Structure 1
């Protein structure tokens, strides 16, 4: 099993870093081949510039984007580890998606979906309670963004694990969260593609297919 981890927290002593270390160790136990994309350490530029836009016409991508796309194609599954800031991804992760998940990669001009059948498992931490994340519609926004990206790209599965009130929980509760993360990651190994959070009923995928059929 080949797995990419996309990580975007700037603080080396954050709970996100503890999750990252836990996930890496657990994947190693499960025998996975792992590539970690620590975007802060990579100094990844999240801003889509002129060359990124020109690539839509020329198909000549910046070298660093070619490398990231090759790793996406290599991987069977993508794990995202991220805090929730203002209802969504930090800019560095959103920028990675903007620059690396190009239209040509997701769906080529001859209709081939380059990432079809891959799997996505996102682990998000929040500083707010579950009730606040639900009532403020941040949960809806996260699930909609998840569906829009991975449904559109025809991933077979796209699942989310939300960890709430992280700054206020006890050490024991954090340890329990890390064990819960292990069980979440185990789904990659213990379930076949399409058995988990399948994108078959993705609203984004349905909208795409309707749009393609009408043109």
Structure 2
């Protein structure tokens, strides 16, 4: 099992970092080959520039994008570990998606889905309560973003776990959360592709199928 982890928190003593360390160790214990993409440490440039757009026509990708695409193709599953800031991804995560998930990789002009059948497991932390995240519609926005990205790319599974009120929980509650993320990523091993939560019946995926049928 090959697993790539996309990580986007700048603080080295954050709870996100503890999750990253826990998940990486647990995956390796279960026999996975793991590549960690610490975007801050990699100084990954999240800004989509003209060179990125030109690559659609020249077929010559920027070196950093080409490397990341190679690792995405290598992976059976992608795990995203990230805080929720202002209802969404930090800029470095969003920029990674903008630059690396290119149209040609996700769906070629010939209709080939390059990432089809892969699996996505996202772990997000928030400083707010579950009630606030729900009533403010941030939960809806996060699930919609997950749905649109991985549904369009035809991932077999697209699961999301939210951890709430992280700055205010007790040390014991944080330890319980770390056990929860172990159980969450265990689903990659314990379920077959397509047996987990999926975008295949989501509104955006059904709308995509309908749109493609018309064109």
Is 1:105 the counterpart of 2:105 in the alignment?
A: yes
Q: CA deviation at 1:186?
A: 0.2
Q: 1:165-211 CA distances to partner (integer Å, 9 max, x unpaired)?
A: 00000000000000000000100000001111122213222222211
Q: 1:124-158 CA distances to partner (integer Å, 9 max, x unpaired)?
A: 00000000000000000000000000000000000
Is 1:93 the counterpart of 2:96 in the alignment?
A: no
Q: What count of residue pairs does the alignment treat as equivalent?
A: 215
Aligned to 1:84: 84
CA distance in 1, matches of 2:212, 2:196: 27
CA distance in 1, matches of 2:18, 2:150: 26
Kept in 2: contact 1:84–1:124 (CA 8 A): yes
Aligned to 2:117: 117
CA distance in 1, matches of 2:114, 2:185: 24
Q: 1:10-52 CA distances to partner (integer Å, 9 max, x unpaired)?
A: 0000000000000001001100000000000000000000001
Aligned to 1:148: 148
CA distance in 1, matches of 2:61, 2:172: 46
Higher mean alpha-carbon deviation, 49-58 vs 205-214, is at 205-214
Q: CA deviation at 1:66?
A: 0.6
Q: CA RMSD in A?
A: 0.7
Higher mean alpha-carbon deviation, 70-79 vs 52-61, is at 52-61
Which aligned segments of 4 or more residues in structure 1 are displaced greater than 6 angstroms? none
* TM-score where L is the length of structure 1: 0.99
1:12-91 → structure 2 map (5 Å cutoff): 12-91=12-91
Higher mean alpha-carbon deviation, 22-31 vs 191-200, is at 191-200
* TM-score where L is the length of structure 2: 0.99
Aligned to 1:201: 201
**What SS is found at the alignment partner of 1:89?**
coil
Aligned to 2:187: 187
Q: CA deviation at 1:96?
A: 0.1
Structure 2, unaligned runs of 5 or more: none
**What SS is found at the alignment partner of 2:179?**
helix
Structure 1, unaligned runs of 5 or more: none
CA distance in 1, matches of 2:80, 2:147: 14
